[in-house]
Structure 1
Amino acid sequence: MSAPVVVAARRTPIGTAGRKLREVTVDKLAAPVLAAVVDDVWPLTAMRGVDDVVLGNCLGPGGNVARVAALAAGLDVTVPGVTVDRQCGSGLAAILQAGQFIRAGDARLVLAGGAESASTAPRRSHRVAPDGGSPGPYERAPFTPRAYGDPDMGVAAEDLARARGVTRGRQDAYAAASHAKALLARDAGRFDDELIPVGGLHRDDRPRRLDPAVLARMPAAFVPRGTVTAGNSCANSDGAAVVALVGDDLRAGRPGLRLVAGAVVGCDPRLPGWGPVPAVRRVLSAAGVRLSDLAAVEIVEAFAGQVLAVTDALGLDPLGKHAELVCADGGALALGHPWGASGAVVVVRLFGRLVRGGAPAGTLGLATAAIGGGMGVAGLFEVVR
């Protein structure tokens, strides 16, 4: 068996749904990133063909997005593809699955990540209405059976923030900080080496300066008199992110991120945002690592209240002493949340912060995401040189 190592990591700029990338389909988002990652690992690809492509996707057109994107990227017709749906954790789950292929000896070079086009996701309708009435719009697939409440994500974030005592002020402050970090990172060029322009978009289009006074006046978005607003929530977005994983015996001295441990766990379906807590605890326990050993943490920022509920439970203070540990360059609140891709975006960000950033061998980083339906996913990575 060989330990899987991420040796290349790229992403598209993230575009807010309905804007610059509104006409770029999900396969066309993924294809140029796949092609770029193949180029990045040259000449490994000359010595060893790509064994598989694993992509996360939530609301695409169906079929097998990974296979379509692989062919569109110019990969050989012998390269297969599989599409993973773990909702907002799909991109990270795809990377963990690719790592399992390599660890088991079934593959030596796999491209993995995720892609989502909220702009071009098809609208669906019932052919036969479930209640026997007239066919009508199909709003969304259920996250859970009705007996578990099947909450929308915004409502669930509100419930979690209330259950964990996360105030509106902290949520607004965290959202403002995420945007401020992302603007600083973008202006400093810290995203440049991971970006592959697509659809005329060359940089993330969402980060902006948030006025605390304006944030404080924004109305509740999901629950009357609630604390979750449009200002402290992510935006539905378009984007793709891909990494290349190889066996440690194949990396030939290339620096990268060794996948130490990964986990997908279930939690209360009524509070799906809680999922990262047990997932993180499981991977840390499996690796014999403490949170204090980590140099970087990337969490998919779907809602500020959800992130703070998770970080509070883990003993992290992202508005204080851990501001440079947790999403140091901002996250999905600032950049946007292309659902099936976001779990891979956080791994690309870890790669940028640690590998491109020059962290020494042995440095540890963590990526995690909450998942609709009551799940969490986490991956622990270690820098190798």
Structure 2
Amino acid sequence: MTRAVIVKAKRTVIGKKGGILKQYSPEQLASFVMKDIIQDLPEQIDDIIFGNAVGPGGNIARLSGLETGLSVAVPGMTIDRQCGSGLEAIRLACYLVQGGAGQIYVAGGVESSSQSPYDKRARFSPEKLGDPDMGVAAEYVAEKYGITRQMQDEYALYSYQRSIHSLKNGRFSDELVQIPDIPLQDEGLNPKVNYERMLHRLTPCFKENGTVTLGNSCGINDGASAVLIMSEEKAKELGYQPILRFVDSVVTGVNPNYPASGPIPAISQLLSKHSLSIQDIDLFELNEAFASKVVACAKELKIPYEKLNIEGGAIALGHPYGASGAILVTRLFYEVQRYKALFSISTIGIGGGIGIAVLWESMI
């Protein structure tokens, strides 16, 4: 079988909605990372697959390729699996390489919440089944799995502390592409803030007497991330060092009222398919839309926090919906090199009740 590998991975800084990236359209944000990962590439890519969730619609992958200056012969396909779009784009590109459809792909995701033309989110589920807003759904997950406010705040503090440690130690510098006049630091993270005190002071924001606050939830953000995917043979031919080899993936559905629980069956099925256990996986990158989600998944799957989002996550850094899944993979791309991990998983729970989990094997 032809195997798909990732040879380069990059992301922009993550900006707040209406913040430092507000002047950039989605295709401009995507072009910053595309230009970086294809520089010096001696051959034309076969296709661009990009995820996007909040618009403005159209084929943003094609538009981004043209904005980047790629040949008009390179097509482009845009995927909407909501906040799993960037991870789905990478997953699909890997399967296309495996199936022989092409040998070189750019895949990832982009979001400009600042320039979204939509005032309200799309419907995720028919009302008769339940279609809660994500904050309310996070409360439902907390109730179902017995996740207290204290458990959520404790995990959120991990996210802030780990992200600040990573920032101070230059861990994000390899991931980031330079945008003119934009600091190389994610906008939402402020090392001067006493996050522990902040978390204690905040009140629930989605439900009276609830447990979910603005401090243990992600923000609304802008950003882009992309990876360069090749067949192993093409990477060797062109002189690239493969870092991550795509092993397999699972996508599954869950009750739309508990969308954050999607990673639980997805990871379980993926591990079962390959006769692996949680102990066999060295690193997990699970999107931190809400602390209740991460704590519930870790509790049900028995994932130790020492393996989970070890350099920080979206609670501290931000969640640019369509890009977040690709950011998870970009983070793993550098983490497996830093920590000599063998197996890793990127996973995300999605509005409407969907979970994606992707299994990677290190090649270094």
Instruction: Please give the TM-score of this superposition, normalised by the length of structure 2.
Output: 0.96
CA contact (8 A) 1:179 1:210 kept: no
Task: Find the counterpart in structure 1 of residue 122 from structure 2.
Answer: 141
Task: Find the counterpart in structure 2 of residue 222 from structure 1.
Answer: 206
Task: Find the counterpart in structure 2 of residue 310 from structure 1.
Answer: 297
Q: Which runs of 5+ in 1 are unaligned?
A: 125-138
Question: Are residues 107 and 273 of structure 1, via their aligned partners in 2, closer, same or farther at CA, if it must alter by over 3 Å?
Answer: same
CA contact (8 A) 1:36 1:196 kept: yes
Where do residues 81-92 of structure 1 align in structure 2 (5 Å cutoff)? Answer: 81-92=76-87
Where do residues 177-256 of structure 1 align in structure 2 (5 Å cutoff)? Answer: 177-198=158-179, 200-201=181-182, 202-208=184-190, 209-252=193-236, 254-256=241-243
Task: Find the counterpart in structure 2 of residue 64 from structure 1.
Answer: 59
SS of the residue corresponding to residue 148 of structure 1 reads: coil
CA contact (8 A) 2:7 2:244 kept: yes
Give CA deviations for 1:221-274 in whole Å, capped at 9, x if unaligned.
111110000010000000000001101111116131001011111011110110
Task: Find the counterpart in structure 1 of residue 7 from structure 2.
Answer: 7
212-221 vs 152-161, which moves further: 212-221
SS of the residue corresponding to residue 110 of structure 1 reads: strand
Choose the corresponding residue for 2:271, options 280, 284, 296. Answer: 284
Choose the corresponding residue for 1:123, options 109, 118, 121. Answer: 118
Partner Cα separation in structure 1 for residue 175 and residue 106 of structure 2: 15
The answer on 1:100 being equivalent to 2:81 is no
Give CA deviations for 1:19-62 in whole Å, capped at 9, x if unaligned.
111111111100010110102xx3xx31x320000000000111
How many pairs were matched up?
A: 358
RMSD: 1.3
CA contact (8 A) 1:20 1:199 kept: no
- Shift, 1:287, TM fit: 2.2
SS of the residue corresponding to residue 88 of structure 1 reads: coil
Question: Are residues 53 and 166 of structure 1, via their aligned partners in 2, closer, same or farther at CA, if it must alter by over 3 Å?
Answer: same
* Letter of the 2:181 counterpart: G
Partner Cα separation in structure 2 for residue 268 and residue 199 of structure 1: 44
CA contact (8 A) 2:232 2:242 kept: no
Task: Find the counterpart in structure 2 of residue 131 from structure 1.
Answer: none
Partner Cα separation in structure 2 for residue 69 and residue 295 of structure 1: 34
Task: Find the counterpart in structure 2 of residue 127 from structure 1.
Answer: none
* Letter of the 1:70 counterpart: G
Task: Find the counterpart in structure 1 of residue 357 from structure 2.
Answer: 378
Task: Find the counterpart in structure 1 of residue 262 from structure 2.
Answer: 275
Instruction: Please give the TM-score of this superposition, normalised by the length of structure 1.
Output: 0.91
Task: Find the counterpart in structure 2 of residue 300 from structure 1.
Answer: 287
* Letter of the 1:87 counterpart: Q
Choose the corresponding residue for 1:49, options 1, 21, 44. Answer: 44
SS of the residue corresponding to residue 169 of structure 1 reads: helix
Q: Which runs of 5+ in 2 are unaligned?
A: none
Partner Cα separation in structure 2 for residue 210 and residue 275 of structure 1: 32
- Shift, 1:199, TM fit: 5.5
CA contact (8 A) 1:261 1:286 kept: no
Choose the corresponding residue for 1:176, options 157, 163, 182. Answer: 157
* Letter of the 1:381 counterpart: W
Give CA deviations for 1:272-297 in whole Å, capped at 9, x if unaligned.
11000111112212222211111111
- Shift, 1:358, TM fit: 6.1
- Shift, 1:359, TM fit: 1.8
- Shift, 1:380, TM fit: 0.6
Partner Cα separation in structure 2 for residue 54 and residue 20 of structure 1: 26
CA contact (8 A) 1:24 1:199 kept: no
| Aligned residues with identical type, % of pairs | 41
